[in-house]
Amino acid sequence: MEKDHKSPAAAPATEETNADGTKRGRRTSGREKNRSQDDNKRDREQSEWEEKIIQVRRVTKVVKGGKKLSFRAVVAVGNGKGQVGIGIGKASEVIMAIQKGVADARKSLITVPLIGATLPHQIIGKQGASRVLMKPAAKGTGVIAGGASRAVLELAGVGDVLSKSLGSRSPLNVARATINGLHELRTFDQSARLRGITVQQMLN
């Protein structure tokens, strides 16, 4: 007398078509389930990040036998919660250059210390001949900035700030100067910790 063995919970079946046109069922393996779950998790993580193209330039290089065209893309990436980065991508196609720029930006993310929606103190970011002045602003002021500086500040999650470009207006250098200024920001707690004192002692 044969015993009926209870099989484990069956995986959802999918349909496949045979050569003769008939359909047959195929059970989904655990590996395929895990792969689909990983894809969904990756999509959710990517949805948190926003990308902004700061500049796309066509670069011409003179080589033996003619000219070689390529594209350079400057891209900013941020999650609007205090993390932002910029990257550069170079390729023979615009789309590939942008993708490389996004990958490069994610490798150079910085964390911006925010107080509410503004900066903790005034700072001047520097890069090459570019200087970017950033000041805290009252609630409701908005992002008073332009060009590359505005893109970086918005992606970092800064909602109220006063900004002014004081030097070269090269988009790449302005973006880097903004990143430099945001990276140098310190909160009261961080400053007190660096000095080895309490916040109360620092304020007194």
Q: Which residues of 125-151 are buried (b: 16+ CB within 10 A; e: fewer)?
A: bbbeebbbbbbbbeeeeebbbebbbbb
Q: What is the pLDDT along the chain (204 residues), one digit of tens a residue?
A: 444 544 444 445 445 555 555 555 555 555 655 666 666 665 555 678 899 999 999 999 999 989 999 999 999 999 988 999 999 999 999 999 999 999 999 999 999 999 888 999 999 999 999 999 999 999 999 999 988 999 999 999 999 999 999 999 999 999 999 999 999 998 888 888 888 888 777 777
Residues 165 and 125 in one domain: yes
- Within a domain: residue 120? yes
The reported pTM is 0.73
| Overall number of domains in the chain | 2
Long-range pairs for 31-36: beta carbons < 8 A, 24 or more residues apart: none
Same domain, 55 and 79: yes
Specify whether 176 is located in the same domain as 147.
yes
